[in-house]
Structure 1
Amino acid sequence: MVRFDTNPLTSVHWIAIALAALSGAIHLLLGVIVPALALRASFLVAGVGFFVGIGLVLAEYRRPLVYLLGIPFTAGQIVLWYVIVGPTLGTVGVLDAVDKLAQVVLVALLVVLYTRGR
């Protein structure tokens, strides 16, 4: 049985968890509503990935490694979005803007958490 110990978590952890949950939920939603099968699958995998990361942090499983892997995973979401969507100023939807802002801040927080070693 996995035991979650949230006592050692700081406010930085909780903000990062909330941002990962937000981005994960958006990706799962897109995985359900996007008509293209290949994109649907990639959204679902990304969404599940965010929630797996949250679970690993809550379970205290090799947190520094989870932070380190979370940085390119999350940054990769931003890069893939830019390459696939090719947004221009004024054409970014609200959902995209919220997701990408959450991801940029999440990457920064993951860097902070990794450098602190917690």
Structure 2
Amino acid sequence: MPSPALLLIYGGAACAEIAGCFAFWAWLRLDRSVWWLAPGMVSLALFAWLLTRVPADVAGRAYAAYGGVYIVASLVWMGLVEGQRPDRWDLIGAAFCLIGAAIILLGPRSG
């Protein structure tokens, strides 16, 4: 089971990345002001910094495991911010992604 600190790091990173990317989406696709980019860039920098806090032996493994968390967080964002409820296929896919992320990050390593 992942530690609460790890869950907070990954959760915070996901929120920061999605918010940062959404700022760019809002500017380019929703015709928002260019000023949306400033907090978006700060949010993306926070995302990158948070991922460096993951206690993993190599960066690639931390990033790969984060992918599953990002997928779940994106579906939560879709429901809360965009008002679109994830369907059963979204939820089934997210469950598989979280299982894969747990195997990548928590699986026993030899050597």
Which structure: larger Rg? 2
Higher relative contact order (CA 8 A, sep 6+): 1
Establish whether TM, by shorter chain, passes 0.5: no
> TM-score, with normalisation over the residues of structure 1?
0.35
